[in-house]
Amino acid sequence: MRIGIVCYPTFGGSGVVATELGLALAEEGHIVHFITYDRPVRLGSGKANIFYHEVRVSDYPLFDYQPYELVLTSKLVDVARHERLDLLHVHYAIPHASAAWMAQRILLSKGIRIPFITTLHGTDITLVGRDPSFEPVITFAIEHSTAVTAVSESLRRDTLEHFPVGREIRVIPNFIRMDRYARQPDPELRRRFAPNGEKLLVHVSNFRPVKRVMDVLKVFLGVRAQLPSRLLLIGDGPDRHAAEMMCRANGTCDDVLFLGKMTEPEDVVANSDLFVLTSETESFGLAALEAMACGVPVVTTDSGGTAEVVESGVAGLLNPVGDTETMVRHALSILGDEAALAAYRQGARSSAARFDITNVLPRYEELYREVVEHVQTNGVH
């Protein structure tokens, strides 16, 4: 099958999942065309059955804002026609789904019938989508997609609650490649971050307000007061400066390490003892899943899709949003008992295996076959 994938090419979860999906499809013999404004960070180069098409927006003086959605539409039409695509799979509702619908209409006028699948990843619904100015477009795009998927049951419910759509939304969860996260302990790296044998807590995010990074620091301070420990912060974003100021105010700068963005954070995560995720909500909790795949237990909030990923008492412990005192107690119950930590490590990895790509990819392939057969039989509506 010839598949066009549209995604954001950045470090965010939707872009990572879309890229890994395309790579897995290519390994199964499908021809995959990525269509976006930059090469996705995990795509690499020279891989069989993988092609990349850049969406380049010209800077015309006429426009105050570059018309990316229109240029993307034109690129989708061009690639679909000349590469004879069987379907488009767009990740994120806007502008990708609306551009796909416009491309579908243009192609239909040329006698080409092509379905498109929209995968909802979270912030397109939980943040952007709740802006009333976007609601009509997102509702329209969801209703007119050939098929719609959400990465968790929680996100599916949020979508149906906040948008007046009356259609099926199929849940196909995010996934990982378990073999990617099989890491042997690195004593040298461990000594570098924990020179005196401290326990290592780690957090990975985009440092946006929804991640509640200050709560991560509060949890760390509570753990540090009772157990020698250090905190590794991976990523960057608008709340990083406030986090740095909090560390300076508390005199903990030597034990809180800001490592910035990493293309392969799992090298560090795998050598840590506990992953801390304090988000207001998560549509899925991919960062938590990646930590689990590394054999690192998770202390996290119970809001959104995270509760579907982290088996409490097996892979980690769930907590109410903002309840940092309970998070500290739970963190200490894991870190303060070596037998408990070993059991949680094993439980985290075995629990993560539920989401291995080998278990999820067939569900996407089945959906692809369904939508292609549907359009061939019933046409585009």
Is residue 265's pLDDT more than 50? Answer: yes
**Amino acid 46: pLDDT:** 73
In the structure, what pLDDT confidence band is assigned to residue 137 with cuts at 50, 70 and 90? confident
Q: What is the pLDDT of residue 128?
A: 54
Q: Are 11 and 94 in contact (CB under 8 A)?
A: no
Q: What pLDDT does 308 receive?
A: 95
**Hey, is 184 helix, strand or coil?**
coil
Which pair of tokens denotes residue 160? Answer: 């149906």
For the ranges 12-16, 26-30, 48-52, the lowest mean pLDDT is seen at: 12-16
The domains found in the chain, sorted by start residue, are 2-175+357-378 (3.40.50.2000), 178-354 (3.40.50.2000)
What pLDDT shows up at residue 129? 47
Residue found under tokens 């390490």 = 257
Measure CA 175 to chain center.
9
Residue 49: pLDDT band (50, 70, 90) is: very high
pLDDT of 276 over the 90 cut: yes
Q: Is it the case that residue 217 has pLDDT exceeding 80?
A: yes
Taking only the tens place, the pLDDT of each residue in 304-345 is 999 999 999 999 999 999 999 999 999 999 999 999 999 999
Mean pLDDT of 22-31: 96
Query: Looking at the predicted structure, is the pLDDT value of residue 62 above 70?
Result: no
**pLDDT number for residue 12:** 67
Q: What is the pLDDT of residue 379?
A: 78
Report the distance separating Cα 299 and Cα 327, nearest Å. Answer: 7
